[in-house]
Homo-oligomer: A and B are copies of this chain.
Amino acid sequence: MHAPVEFADIAADVLERVKRRAPRVHCITNTVAQAYTANILLAAGAVPSMTISPEEIAAFVGGADALLVNLGTFDAERRAAIAPALDAAAQGGKPWVLDPVFIERSPARARFAHNLVGRAPAVVRLNLHEFAALGGGDATGDAAARFASQHDTVVALTGATDVVSDGARSANIANGDALMGLVTGMGCAGSALIAAALAVERDRYLAAVAALVGLGVAGEIAAADARAPGRFAGSIIDALHELDRARLRARTRVS
| Chain B min CB distance to A68 (Å) | 13
- Whether A102 and B230, one on each chain, are in contact in the complex, defined by CB atoms closer than 8 angstroms, is no
Per a CB cutoff under 8 Å, which of B30, B43, B229, B234 touches A50?
Answer: B30
Q: Chain A interface mostly helix, strand, loop or mixed?
A: helix
- Whether B32 and A105, one on each chain, are in contact in the complex, defined by CB atoms closer than 8 angstroms, is no
- Interface segment, one of A34-42, A152-160, A165-173, A208-216: A34-42
Alpha-carbon separation in the docked complex, A164 to B73 (Å): 33
Q: How many copies does the complex hold?
A: 3
- Is A108 part of the binding interface, using a Cβ–Cβ cutoff of 8 Å? yes
Kindly report which residue of chain B lies nearest to residue A226, judged by CB atoms: B238
| Chain B min CB distance to A52 (Å) | 6
Per a CB cutoff under 8 Å, which of B42, B43, B234 touches A234?
Answer: B234
| Chain B min CB distance to A232 (Å) | 8
Number of interface residues of A (CB under 8 A): 52
| Chain B min CB distance to A235 (Å) | 6
B residues near A190, Cβ cutoff 8 Å: none
- Whether A53 and B35, one on each chain, are in contact in the complex, defined by CB atoms closer than 8 angstroms, is no
Kindly report which residue of chain B lies nearest to residue A104, judged by CB atoms: B63
Alpha-carbon separation in the docked complex, A52 to B106 (Å): 12
B residues near A235, Cβ cutoff 8 Å: 230-231
B residues near A109, Cβ cutoff 8 Å: 51, 53, 56
- Is A87 part of the binding interface, using a Cβ–Cβ cutoff of 8 Å? no
Alpha-carbon separation in the docked complex, A53 to B183 (Å): 23
- Is A250 part of the binding interface, using a Cβ–Cβ cutoff of 8 Å? no
Indicate with 1 or 0, residue by residue over A39-64, a CB within 8 angstroms of chain B CB atoms: 10011000011111101100110010
A: which residues have CB within 8 A of B?
30-36, 38-39, 42-43, 48-53, 55-56, 59-60, 63, 72-77, 79, 102, 105-109, 181-185, 228-231, 233-238, 241-242
11 further A-B contacts with Cβ under 8 Å, apart from A31-B34, A55-B108, A59-B107, are: A39-B184, A42-B184, A48-B184, A49-B105, A51-B72, A53-B74, A60-B105, A60-B106, A230-B234, A233-B237, A234-B234
